Structure 1
Amino acid sequence: MSRIVLYARVSTADQTTAHQRQQAEAAGFTIDEVIADEGVSGISIPLRDRPEGRRLFDKLRHGDVLVVRWVDRLGRNYQDVTDTIRHFMRQGVVIRTVINSMTFDGATKDPMQEAVRDALIGFMAATAQAQAEATKEAQKAGIAHHKATSPQKYRGRKPSYTRDQLDLMRDMLTQGAGASEIAKATGLTRPTVQRLRDDMEGAEAVLVKWSEAAA
């Protein structure tokens, strides 16, 4: 009997696997099992080397569906992500994403369809790596902004958004999503999304300031 397995990865304390499950269920998925890695980088640690990611390779069977919020949950390294998706497709596993409702499987034998599918996989994997690099730069800019404007260790009002929400928003903006769609996915209000979108560097700085002061 085939199963629908959600793989969730969170790399910071204020991200949650529960939020990723809620997003998947809101998108219409009936999740049979959740496998999650917490506090694990998607850049430096391949899926096979993560404690729970390794279980996916052991558990998934032909006909199973692997659900991820987006391909960046599998990893943020181009080679790792493309290798992973192709491995699962060869095993008869279907990969589906919550964002953009993408589906990848190895069922087609038509060379043109295979070429289009593989090109899309490559594009999404490359985008995941590019986003990781952009996020790293945004965090650096946020730290610099915080040091320049608020050198004292004072965190002020708690942010109205979490790391998980800001990261999801950044992902969706890259995919061309509008404010209303992002608000629905993140649980933020539309005005909040618009405010954060207009100053992502400042939004990052607020999270940095809060986390530093709480440390």
Structure 2
Amino acid sequence: MSTFLYARVSTAEQTLEHQRTQAEQSGFRFDYIIADHGVSGVSVLMKDRPEGKRLFDMLRSGDTLVVRWVDRLGRNYADVTDTIREFIRRGVVIKTIINGMTFDGTTTDPIQMAVRDALIAFMAATAQAQAEATKEAQKAAIATIKARDDGTYKGRKPSFNRNQMALVMDMDGKGNNVSEIAKATGLSRQTVYRIKDDAAGAEKALATWGL
């Protein structure tokens, strides 16, 4: 029985080391670390990613798969739910670092199975919804910049980067409070509030500075 960490690094500001460190700080140790770099979780299915395909080939009954959250498996509802259910059918235990969730096939009680599957569906839907919201915020920010910004004044440089903003939105969507988010991201509470309250404005600031 082996423990795997799967990481998906989809932007330049995300790093494998960050996801690994976060996992180790939560008490996990790994036999294998597998990561896909520069791969969209929306348009590229898990089985179609180079390392995702390798993960499918390697996982066996009794193994444990650790991910930062389900959005690392993907941001496509159907793909994420299909992937988790396939792994469960194989006898793999899936654990998330954020919120400490565990999904497995040990229960045979139909009510507990229904609750488990509903939670998987909810988390997968949240991952896709967050991706779509971020995309819309980016579009709105770019449109605003094109319409109003002549390039002579950029305003104050953001005190956060895109990876930190994504983590703020992720954790806020999962119900974490501002203090928890600030601690996880290394940002001040005021900055966390500013990102939460005006995601489009935060995205515009990043886009304006080319961050």
Q: For the superposition of Structure 1 and Structure 2, which TM-score range results when normalised by the shorter chain?
A: over 0.9
**Match status 1:140 vs 2:139:** yes
Which has the larger displacement, 178-187 or 40-49? 178-187
State the SS of the aligned residue for 1:21.
Answer: helix
Task: Please tell me whether the aligned partners of residues 88 and 105 of structure 2 are also in contact (alpha carbons under 8 angstroms).
Answer: yes
Residues 11-30 of structure 1: pairs in structure 2 closer than 5 A: 11-30=10-29
**Match status 1:182 vs 2:193:** no
Q: Equivalent residue for 1:194?
A: 193
Task: Please tell me whether the aligned partners of residues 71 and 124 of structure 2 are also in contact (alpha carbons under 8 angstroms).
Answer: yes
State the SS of the aligned residue for 2:8.
Answer: strand
Q: Equivalent residue for 1:123?
A: 122
Provide the aligned length of Structure 1 versus Structure 2.
211
Task: Please tell me whether the aligned partners of residues 95 and 103 of structure 2 are also in contact (alpha carbons under 8 angstroms).
Answer: yes
Which has the larger displacement, 140-149 or 178-187? 140-149
Task: Please tell me whether the aligned partners of residues 15 and 162 of structure 1 are also in contact (alpha carbons under 8 angstroms).
Answer: no
Q: 1:154 to 1:74 in 2, by over 3 A?
A: farther
State the Cα distance separating 1:24 from its structure 2 match: 1.6
- Supply the distance in 1 between the matched residues of 2:127 and 2:154 (Cα, whole angstroms): 31
- Supply the distance in 1 between the matched residues of 2:24 and 2:145 (Cα, whole angstroms): 37
Q: Percent identity?
A: 66
Structure 2 unaligned residues grouped into runs of 5+? none
Q: 1:157 to 1:15 in 2, by over 3 A?
A: farther
- Supply the distance in 1 between the matched residues of 2:2 and 2:59 (Cα, whole angstroms): 8
- Supply the distance in 2 between the matched residues of 1:87 and 1:138 (Cα, whole angstroms): 33
Q: 1:3 to 1:185 in 2, by over 3 A?
A: farther
Task: Please tell me whether the aligned partners of residues 89 and 106 of structure 1 are also in contact (alpha carbons under 8 angstroms).
Answer: yes
State the Cα distance separating 1:62 from its structure 2 match: 1.6
Deviations along 1:3-53, one digit per CA (max 9) or x if unpaired, are 221111122112212111122222222233321111110000000000111
Which has the larger displacement, 9-18 or 77-86? 9-18
Aligned residues: CA RMSD: 1.8
Q: 1:102 to 1:159 in 2, by over 3 A?
A: same
- Supply the distance in 2 between the matched residues of 1:128 and 1:96 (Cα, whole angstroms): 16
Residues 31-180 of structure 1: pairs in structure 2 closer than 5 A: 31-152=30-151, 158-180=157-179
Task: Please tell me whether the aligned partners of residues 3 and 63 of structure 2 are also in contact (alpha carbons under 8 angstroms).
Answer: yes
State the Cα distance separating 1:117 from its structure 2 match: 0.5
Q: 1:153 to 1:55 in 2, by over 3 A?
A: farther
Task: Please tell me whether the aligned partners of residues 146 and 206 of structure 1 are also in contact (alpha carbons under 8 angstroms).
Answer: no
Task: Please tell me whether the aligned partners of residues 16 and 164 of structure 1 are also in contact (alpha carbons under 8 angstroms).
Answer: no
Deviations along 1:57-105, one digit per CA (max 9) or x if unpaired, are 0111222111111111111111111110011011111111111111100
